[in-house]
């Protein structure tokens, strides 16, 4: 019954009685394995086929996650440091292995002998031949236009540091390439165009030494190589010659067409004699000395500009 003038008293809610099964503690949180992650990602994606880029990003994220959380994996600081710097030993081991070159020990007449013949052919009449008494290491290459054959020969003879891209080996069985150090460009010009003048023909005949023949040297060189087992193994395909002068080794060019050649251009070589795939074009020093004075461009009313290509003069038959 309500008392007059007082609002009705609110009834207390009855206590909530839960079944015994509800009083059990909740299960521990489950770890989401990669298969579950991919399942969640697949449900979150549209029904169409997922993009490969998204799958790749997910895979990278999972890989980094497991690296960081794994007890045996690197820590975050170690992982970041490995991306920034490397130890000297690891960087040294990552360098590519050098190309192994075997330098043929040719008879001296194909190397230092060519320099001696060049110098002897230019000795004035009645003068002593200085080249005849000089030791091999005291000789110097005459000129500089095609001196790459000299410097390459000297560099391979020198034992350099271990980190060089090219390493000379003493055992030909270990070699990747075989270098033939014939001074082919110098051999071409051993005989001067105008020999030293003599008082008369009889004096010239008496003082003249044995004549030098570049053609004979080329033939003797190839004959020497053809007796070598490593030349016959691949028909010279792993052998290297340097012939910067366009006429160098012209007599035997077909006999060494398989070999790698270091040239200045392909001006006088046919398509079956040279190839951009195997042959290498080397720069060479020009014979014209550069002008070192004031060019004085501002005071010139007109300037001359040349653009084009050179044309080799061929000897008419």
What pLDDT was estimated at residue 309?
64
Residue 299 in tokens: 């005071």
Residue 34 in contact with residue 62, Cβ under 8 Å? yes
d(CA 189, CA 155): 23
Give whole-number Cα distances, 301 to 49, 294, 298, 304, in Å: 72, 16, 8, 10
> Quick one: tokens of 257?
């067409």
Instruction: List, in sequence order, every residue forming a beta bridge with 241; answer none if it has no partner.
Output: 261
Which pTM does this prediction carry? 0.60
First to last CA, the chain: 143
- Phi-psi group of 143: left, alpha or beta (phi > 0 → left; psi -120 to 50 → alpha; rest → beta): left
Residue bearing tokens 């461009």? 297
Q: How many residues does the chain have?
A: 317
**Per-residue confidence in pLDDT tens, the chain, 317 aa:** 555 556 666 566 666 565 555 555 555 555 444 444 445 445 555 555 555 555 555 666 655 555 455 544 444 444 344 434 445 555 555 667 889 999 999 999 999 999 999 988 888 766 667 777 788 888 899 877 788 999 999 999 887 666 778 889 999 999 999 999 999 999 999 988 655 554 455 555 545 556 899 999 999 999 999 999 999 999 999 999 999 988 999 999 999 999 999 998 887 888 888 888 999 988 766 666 777 777 777 777 777 776 666 666 665 44
Q: Give the separation between CA 194 and CA 196, rounded to whole angstroms.
A: 7
At residue 84, the pLDDT reads: 42
């Amino acid at each position: 019954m309500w008392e007059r003038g007082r609002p009705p008293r609110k009834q207390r809610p009855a206590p909530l009685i839960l079944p015994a099964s509800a009083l059990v503690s909740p299960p521990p949180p489950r770890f989401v394995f990669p298969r579950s992650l991919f399942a969640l990602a697949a449900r979150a994606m549209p029904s169409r086929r997922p993009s490969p880029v998204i799958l790749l990003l997910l895979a990278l994220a999972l890989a980094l996650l497991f690296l960081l959380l794994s007890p045996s994996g690197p820590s975050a600081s170690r992982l970041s440091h490995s991306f920034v710097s490397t130890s000297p030993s690891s960087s040294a081991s990552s360098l590519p292995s050098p190309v192994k070159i075997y330098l043929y020990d040719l008879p001296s007449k194909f190397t230092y002998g060519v320099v001696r013949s060049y110098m002897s052919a230019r000795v004035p009449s009645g003068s002593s031949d200085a080249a005849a008494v000089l030791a091999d290491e005291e000789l110097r290459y005459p000129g500089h236009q095609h001196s790459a054959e000299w410097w390459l020969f000297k560099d391979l003879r020198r034992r350099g540091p271990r980190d060089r891209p090219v390493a000379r080996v003493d055992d030909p069985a270990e070699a990747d390439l075989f270098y033939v150090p014939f001074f082919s460009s110098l051999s071409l010009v051993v005989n001067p165009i105008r020999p030293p003048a003599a008082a008369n023909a009889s004096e010239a005949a008496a003082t003249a030494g044995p004549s030098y023949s570049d053609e004979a040297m080329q033939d003797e060189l190839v004959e020497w190589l053809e007796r070598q087992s490593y030349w016959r193994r691949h028909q010279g395909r792993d052998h290297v010659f340097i012939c910067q002068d366009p006429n160098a080794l012209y007599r035997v060019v077909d006999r060494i067409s398989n070999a790698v050649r270091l040239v200045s251009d392909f001006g006088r070589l046919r398509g079956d004699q040279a190839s951009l795939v195997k042959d290498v074009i080397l720069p060479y020093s020009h014979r014209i000395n550069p002008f070192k004075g004031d060019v004085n461009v501002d005071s010139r009313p007109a300037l001359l500009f040349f653009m084009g290509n050179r044309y080799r003069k061929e000897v008419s038959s």
